[in-house]
A and B are shown apart, each in its own frame.
Chain A
Amino acid sequence: MIFLSLLKILFLILIFLSGSVSFSLAVDLRELIRTVEQQYTGQSSISAVEMTVVTGHWERHLYMESWSLGRERFLIRILAPIKERGVATLKVENEVWNYLPKVDRVIRIPPSMMGGAWMGSHITNDDLVKANHIDQDYDFTLLEETNESWRIEGIPKPDAPVIWGKIIYQIFKEQLVPSQIDYFDEEGILVRQILFDDVQTVSGRTIPLKMTVVPLEKPKEKTVMHYRKLQFDVDLKKDFFSLGNLKGRR
C-alpha cells in the first residue's frame, strides 16, 4: 500500500529506457547512465500500466493509469480490478496522499510508512529512492562486450547508502535498452533480477515496455509491469497534481 513506490518504478523504467541518444563505442559508462538519468529530468508523462503480482499466497492483476511531472509530482489511479477501481495516489514534493473510493476518504501517508513493498509487489522503497542516484552511488566497469550487448558491473562506492553489493546490467548496444539487471547482496548472492521485454519506440524514444521483477529466493514469486500506453513530453501543469484530482471520476 505504498503508492509512492509506483512513481519510482516509472522512473526506474524511464531511466533505462530513454535511449534516443547515440553513443560511440568507447563509451563512458558513468556518462551513459548519468546521461540517461539527465535525459529523464524535466520529463512529463502519461501512461497506462498493467501490473501482475504473483506471491506465495495470491496472484493479482492491476490496471492503472498514471501522470508524472518531473520527479516531484505524480498521480496514479487504479482502473481494475473493480474492487479497487478509483484507488489513487498523489505525490507532491514530500507529501503523499491516498484516495480510497470504498470509504470515500483521502488519507495522508506518514513518512514512516514509506517502507516495505508497494501493493505487495516485489518493488521496494529502496528502488525508488535510490534509482535517481545510481550513477552517483556506483562505479561502473565493462565486464563483457559482444556484438549485441554490454555487460556492465556497478559496484557501490564505499559508504554509498545502497543496499546492494553489486548490480550487473545487460544492455543492448543498438537500442541502448537494458535486457536484464541482476542485483546481488554483499556476499555475491543473486537476490533479485529485473528482466525487460517488448521494446517499442514511444514519443521518439526506444524503450522496453515490459519489466519483470523476480525475487530469487522465492522463485514462484514475481512482479510484472507492462505499459499498455505511454506518452512523453506531454502538456501537464503543476496544478493538475491536486487533491481534487486525486478523487477523480470513477
Chain B
Amino acid sequence: MDLLNLAWKNLWRSRRRTLITLAALSFSLMLIQAFHNLSYGVYASMIDSGVRAGTGHLVVYHQGYLESRDEKLSFNPHNLVEEIGQINGVEAVLPRLYLPGLAQSSRESRGILLTGVVPAAERKINPFLRSLPDDQWLTSLDGREAILGSRLMKELQLKLGNKFVVTMQHRSGELVSEMFRVHGVIKTGIKSVDKSVLMVGRNRAAAMVGSPDNIHELAIILEDQKFDRLVFPQLQELLKTHSDLEGLTWEKAMPNLYNAIRLDYASQKFIFVIMLLIVTIGVINTLLMSVMERFREFGIILAVGASTARLRMLVFLEALLLGLVSMVIGSCLGSLATWYLQAVGIDMRSFISETLEFGGVVFDPILRAGWDFPWMAKISVYLLLLSLLAAVYPSIKAGRISPAAAIRHH
C-alpha cells in the first residue's frame, strides 16, 4: 500500500507534468465519449423516424412480399393486431395496405400506390404526418378522404377539397373505380415521397380490390428500440400458427438504413483507435521522461536495497493512478458534455450556408446525443488499460537501471 502512496506522491512532485498529462487524457476521453454519444443519439433518432415512417421496429409480411412487393401477397391478420398489441413494450401495431392503381382528375392522370391505413394509429406514429394540421387528417377507416403528397397533387392539378378517381384491378380481374377527395396534403421535401403518397382509410382501399380483411404489412412500433430483443421472440411465437407469414426486424426490412449506420460506426471505430493511439503516445512519452529524469534517484533506491520488481511496480502504479484519475475526470466531463448535447444539441442550421429545407423527416435539424453507458464504461476501461500498456516500456527501462551507473549519471 505504501508503494501506492509513494506512486501518488511521485506524481505530484512534478505537478505541472502530471496535470498536463491528466488534462490530455481526460480531455481525450471526454471528447471520445461525447462524440460517440452524439452519434448514438443521432442514429437512434434516424432509426426512430425511419422506423416510424417505414416498416416499424418489427414487421409482419406474407412470405415473399418483401422481395417482390407483389400486391397479390396480402394476408388476413385475424387477431394478430390485438395479440401483438398486448405484448409488453409494443406501442402500436399499424396494419397497412399497398395497392398500385391509376389516379385521375378532370385534367390529368398518374400511376399511384394507394396506401390504406388505420388513421388513428397512423397519425400518432408516422413522422410524415406530423406537420399535418388536425383538420386535414383522416378520421374514418372507409371514408373517401385522401391525403396526397404535395407534388402528386400539383401534377394532378388538384386543390384541397377537389375530388379525383382511383382505378385499380379487382381480384377478379375487373377494373374498379372509386371517388376520393383531397382532404390533406403532405410536404416532406423528399421528391419521391411527395410524388407518390396517397393515403386513405384501410377498409375503403381493401374493399376496392375485393379482399376486405386483407393487408400487406403489419408495422409494429415499440416503446423503445431496445425492446426488440424481447419482443421479437414473442412475435415469432404468435406467428407459429400463421405459416404463410414471416416476422422481420427493421434491420432486415430496411437493410439500407441498417448498413448505413453500421458503416458509419465502423469508420468511427477506426478513427477512435487512431485517436487513442495518439493519446497513448503522449502518455508513453511522459512516463518515459519521468523515468529518465529520475534515473539517479532510482539508482539510489535500487542501491539502497529495493528490488527491480518493486521499481517496475512503482512505475506501473504511477501509470495506473494517472489512468484512474483521468478516467474519472474524463468520464465526468464526458457526461457533462453528453448532458449538454442532449439537452441543447447542435443545431445544424447554423452550419449550413444555403437555406436548406430540412424535411425534418430524414434528419432532425438538431443533433442530439443519447446515453450509451455500456460503451462509455468500456472506453474508460480501455483508456485505463492503455495507460498501463504505456507504462510497459518505461517500467522495463526503470528495471534495467544499474545502480552504480545511475548514481554517476549526469
Contacts and interface: CB of A to CB of B under 8 A. Distances in A.
Contact of A129 (B100, B101, B167, B169): B167
A114 B106 contact: no
Contacts of A191: 106-107
B105 interface: yes
Interface in A161-199: 161-165, 183, 185-187, 191-192
A161 B165 contact: yes
Interface string B98-111: 00111011110111
B162 A186 contact: yes
Interface in B144-167: 144, 162-165, 167
A217 B177 CA distance: 26
A186 B104 contact: no
A165 B102 contact: no
A191 B164 CA distance: 15
A112 interface: yes
B102 A159 contact: no
Contacts of B162: 185-187
B348 interface: no
Contact of A186 (B111, B163, B175): B163
A159 to B, nearest CB: 6
B175 A163 contact: no
Nearest to B173: A94
A130 B109 CA distance: 15
A115 interface: yes
A125 B174 contact: no
A162 B175 contact: no
A187 B332 CA distance: 66
B179 interface: yes
A112 B106 contact: no
Nearest to B167: A129
A94 B105 CA distance: 23
Nearest to B102: A115
A112 B100 contact: yes
A193 to B, nearest CB: 13
B165 A162 contact: yes
A160 interface: yes
A185 B110 contact: no
Q: A114, A163, A185: which has the most chain B beta carbons within 10 Å? A: A163
B107 A129 contact: no
B83 interface: no
Nearest to A192: B106
Contacts of A115: 102, 104, 109-111, 167
A116 B109 CA distance: 6
A126 interface: yes
B106 A129 contact: no
Contacts of A159: 144, 179
Given A124-B109, A129-B177, A163 B102 contact: no
Contacts, number: 64
A56 interface: no
Contacts of A183: 106
Contact of B175 (A111, A124, A160): A111
B347 interface: no
Contacts of A94: 173-175
Contacts of B102: 112, 114-115, 125
Given A161-B179, A162-B179, A185 B144 contact: no
Given A124-B109, A125-B109, A114 B175 contact: yes
A163 B164 contact: yes
A192 B105 CA distance: 13
Interface string A115-131: 11000000011100110
Among A115, A125, A185, chain B packs the most CB atoms within 10 A around the CB of A115
A185 B179 contact: no
Contact of A126 (B104, B110, B163): B104
A130 to B, nearest CB: 8
B178 interface: yes
Interface string A60-76: 00000000000000000
Nearest to A189: B106
Nearest to B144: A159
Given A160-B179, A186-B162, A125 B106 contact: no
- Residue among B100, B174, B177 facing the most chain A CB atoms (10 A cut-off): B177
Contacts of A164: 106
A132 to B, nearest CB: 11
B170 to A, nearest CB: 10
Contacts of B110: 115
Interface of A: 93-94, 111-112, 114-116, 124-126, 129-130, 159-165, 183, 185-187, 191-192, 217
21 contacts: A94-B173, A112-B111, A114-B102, A115-B111, A115-B167, A124-B104, A124-B109, A126-B104, A126-B109, A129-B167, A160-B179, A161-B165, A161-B179, A162-B165, A163-B104, A163-B106, A165-B106, A183-B106, A191-B106, A192-B106, A217-B107
Interface of B: 100-102, 104-107, 109-111, 144, 162-165, 167, 169, 173-175, 177-179
* 8 smallest beta-carbon distances between A and B, as pairs: A161-B177, A185-B106, A115-B102, A115-B109, A161-B179, A163-B106, A94-B173, A161-B165
